[in-house]
Amino acid sequence: MVAGPIILCVVQNVKITVKYDGTDYQGWQIQSQGRTIQGELTRVLSVLDHRSVTVHGAGRTDAGVHSEGQVASFQLERAFEPERLRDAINGNLRHDIRVASVEVADESFHARRSAKQKTYIYQICTAPVASPFDYKYAFHFRGPLDPRSMQEAGRLLVGRHDFSAFTVLDSEASDHTRNLVKLEVTERDDRLVIIATADGFLKYMVRTIAGTLIDVGRGYRGAEAAARALEARDRSLAGPTAPASGLTLLQVDY
């Protein structure tokens, strides 16, 4: 009896960069109900590869949070040219999710485990009247804010610290220590932009930092209040969680 030909399965480890408007999604991670970014990518890639594909993201953005530079990785058993794969994925997604780039990565690459640091921006619209195009992507704060005091408070948070005060009380993370390497507050026309870079972020961490800095900027707290909350590891000493709409994952560095 003559054996049939042996067909070797070529597995491609693929890295993609994804932009999305998170307004209508329940965040990155697949949920039991509701549409998610990971869920939409998984659906499309599983159809293209004719099997169930597991998609790993660099981070779990929350419901309503946006991305300019989310990174995901997955393995495919069908061979695709990068540009053709990009166009095939985008052709099966809604226009509020776009795959910006595709590349074949080293087999050891993993979107989350290989990440060195991430950068988020939080945008605050300070105009008396916000443009209707701002509401999805910035928090419209009605009232004066002092950017200098916000910058001073932000500087007190930079470094490797336990950020228990700046996450949810029931955080699933076993270790709340993160290295916040940059936290800046800049003025751009009628906006204040908070830029945060760290080796990782806890759930709601950037939004809680933003809420704390807003409280400082409006005079509700002194700049040193941020440092006190950090040292005490007490969530009640930090500010409120700022709305999700103002937050965007800007980039992931490897």
DSSP string, 86-134: HHHHHTTS-TTEEEEEEEEPPTT--TTTT--EEEEEEEEE-SSS--TTT
Single out the catalytic residue among 62, 146, 189, 234: 62
Q: CA torsion angle for 37, 40, 43, 45 (degrees, to 10)?
A: -70
Which H or E element spans position 74? strand 66-76
Separation of alpha carbons 145 and 131, rounded Å: 19
| Chain centroid to CA 234 | 24
Tally of CB atoms within 10 A around 205 = 24
Burial class of residue 25 (count of CB atoms within 10 Å of its CB; 0-12, 13-18, 19+): buried
- Catalytic residue status for 146: no
Extended beta strands in 110-220, E state: 117-125, 139-140, 159-162, 177-188, 191-198
Task: Find, among 191, 193, 217, 210, the residue nearest to 126 by Cα.
Answer: 191
Active site residues: 62
